[in-house]
Structure 1
Amino acid sequence: MIEVENLVKRFGSTVAVNGITFTVGDGEIYGLLGPNGSGKSTTMKILAGILTPTSGRVVVGGVDVSSNPLRVKELTGYVPETPVLYESLTPLEFFNFVGSVRRIPSEKLQERVDALVRAFGIEKYLGEMIGSLSFGTKQKVSLIAAMLHDPDVLILDEAMNGLDPKSARILRELLLQFRAEGKSVVFSTHVLALAEMICDRVGVIYNGEIIAEGTVEQLKEFAHEESLEDVFLKLTESQEEVAGIVRALKEAL
């Protein structure tokens, strides 16, 4: 369970998140959608215990993020927008390092590494330096590392970036499995078709504020649109701008 109440985060005079409130229940997939610079990544980092809120209350798995961020890190699996990895290690060395930090028993660690490595198809890269891997393979390493300790809460910030279609499908199935096990998943994505497919509820964040929230069907009804993409563009005031750009391109080409 995730509870966010009146969350504010300032960086000097810049307000990145401005009083947002939402919850993510056990066994629920929540999509946090918004344009670049809307406050998604800042919110995700606060949920993961990486950033401290300026004000407001954030509770993850029954633990207050401000008072015990280390415990929040233990409960969560977090994948940032850009993979942050030890590039001088191999994936196998990195997974063993994560296992030691997470205090995962060696037998269980081996089982989970084997299963996840096979799922994402990176067996041939286990002995390569992470720094030499492609962005997509680094993203897979980051995802595997986040899931190794079987977290109660999974926080994914644009985790589909760089994934091939097969791996994206596997990640989608893993998220559905997490939900079936009663765990909480919150993720941001620009792949709105994916959000429409698997999210139980969606929050649209714009200029640091949640401007709409509900099931995909509720948002479609609210915005009088037929797809989540059109809902998103309408709510973030981008629909007319996009239409104008498309018209200009047609005239120029």
Structure 2
Amino acid sequence: MLEIKHYSKIYSENKKAVDDLSITVKRGEIHAFIGHNGAGKTTTIRAVVGVMDFEQGEILIDGHSVKKEPVLCKSLTAYIPDNPDLYEYITGIQYLNYICDMFCVSEGERTSEIRKYADLFKITDSLGDLISSYSHGMKQKLALIGAFIHAPKLFVFDEPFVGLDPEASFNLKSIMKEACQNGSAIFFSTHVLEVAEKLCDTVSIINSGKLIASGNMEEIKGQHSLEDVFMEVVENGKEI
């Protein structure tokens, strides 16, 4: 579903923020993308969703190039950045209807999907309020609902659990699993390694712009915790 092939991002003075990165995420997989602050995670994610250009490599979504077919790739993808910027002066329901309009979700389908996810995240009673009145957690929930209601083939999340209460975090994990059971794929970054270890099928670890580990979660961590493996490979700087 997602293929990152020899991707590099070069900033000024020939500094490579990401260097020759290759990752594959298959349909039905939840893939954790982890690394320290400044490792290149957000830079990679922005390239995947087409909001940042890159100089080297290729990124494909369901076989389509994000460079050559950017609109098609965006139509297949849901993206939530680490700090979603929503339209503050419309209501929650207006925002969700706007998302449904963009992704051509029918009237009947959007009604049932909005009700389903709004009830699950417990913001149904707030959908008529201006988004500017929402807390950070409520805005995160609204952004997540906007991602799930159009059933994309690929979900790309940057720290999706930040700001969520425990019940919302639990429900998000269940929804992510359900989406993958229905044939989607999820590629997301997180600093919460315990969540990644329990939730994800596969994992990639990036350090200073370079991929140092990638593969099946159980194979990567072996008999250790993901946190132990992460600390070891980052401190040693060696690939595994």
Show the counterpart of 2:108.
107
On the 8 A contact 1:52/1:65 being kept in 2, the answer is no
Show the counterpart of 1:248.
none
Distance of 1:152 and 1:217 partners within structure 2: 25
After TM superposition, give the deviation of residue 12 of structure 1 in Å.
Answer: 2.4
Q: Structure 1: where are the runs of 5+ without partners? A: 239-253
Distance of 1:16 and 1:106 partners within structure 2: 43
Matches within 5 A, 1:196-235: 196-221=197-222, 226-235=224-233
Q: Structure 2: where are the runs of 5+ without partners? A: none
Distance of 1:227 and 1:73 partners within structure 2: 35
RMSD between superposed Cα atoms in Å? 1.3
**Aligned residue pairs: how many?**
235
On the 8 A contact 1:29/1:201 being kept in 2, the answer is yes
After TM superposition, give the deviation of residue 215 of structure 1 in Å.
Answer: 2.2
Show the counterpart of 1:141.
142
| Identity in percent | 35
Please identify the structure whose Cα radius of gyration is greater: 1
Show the counterpart of 1:183.
184
Distance of 2:85 and 2:108 partners within structure 1: 26
SS in 1 for 2:235: coil
After TM superposition, give the deviation of residue 10 of structure 1 in Å.
Answer: 2.0
Distance of 2:149 and 2:11 partners within structure 1: 33
SS in 2 for 1:154: strand
Counterpart code for 1:102: F
Show the counterpart of 2:129.
128
Counterpart code for 1:153: L
Question: What is the TM-score normalised by the length of structure 2?
Answer: 0.94
SS in 1 for 2:177: helix
Distance of 1:93 and 1:11 partners within structure 2: 38
Bigger shift: 162-171 or 229-238? Answer: 229-238
SS in 2 for 1:233: helix
Distance of 1:40 and 1:62 partners within structure 2: 22
Distance of 2:3 and 2:172 partners within structure 1: 25
After TM superposition, give the deviation of residue 48 of structure 1 in Å.
Answer: 1.3
Distance of 2:10 and 2:129 partners within structure 1: 40
Matches within 5 A, 1:45-124: 45-124=46-125
Detail structure 1 runs of 4+ shifted over 4 Å in the superposition: none
SS in 1 for 2:118: helix
Distance of 2:52 and 2:107 partners within structure 1: 31
After TM superposition, give the deviation of residue 226 of structure 1 in Å.
Answer: 1.9
